[in-house]
Amino acid sequence: MSDTDLLPVVVVAGLHAEVRRAVVDELLTAHPGAVHLHHDLGDAGTGVAHRTIRTADGPVGGVVTVELTNDCPCCAAREDLLPWLQRLARTGRHSLAVLELWGGSESHAVTEVVAG
């Protein structure tokens, strides 16, 4: 059993950022202890993504810049995502992880990585 088996994960995907964010906010409100992870790929053209983590109470830490590997924004997000999910699961402080994917990111590929 991996560490991520200890933390339920919901993947929120879609092209409309406002709708995604509304769903994430609703999940954070409805599930005390939920945590939201998001990789903003708006600067992918410069070789970086920006990771944020927050709860219903606000940000957990600041925005972290993540370098893209293999010039693949989705690969970099997945490579950064799994270790963070494992860290969050080990703390035992969160009841749910809500992953908000960037715009047209392939949700199936990310879900397979998380399910392991």
Record the tokens describing residue 58, joined without a space.
């606000």
pLDDT for 98 equals 96
pLDDT for 36 equals 96
pLDDT for 50 equals 92
- pLDDT tens per residue, range 44-100: 888 888 999 999 999 988 999 988 877 676 676 678 888 888 888 998 999 999 999
pLDDT at 3 over 70: no
Query: Do 3 and 90 meet the contact criterion of CB atoms below 8 Å apart?
Result: yes
- pLDDT tens per residue, range 15-57: 899 999 999 999 999 999 999 999 888 888 888 889 999 999 9
pLDDT at 4 over 80: no
CA–CA separation, 35 and 56 (whole Å): 8
Q: DSSP letter string over 28-90? A: HHHSTTEEEEEEE-TTGGGTEEEEEEEETTEESS--EEEE-STT-HHHHHHHHHHHHHHHHHH
pTM across the whole model:
0.86
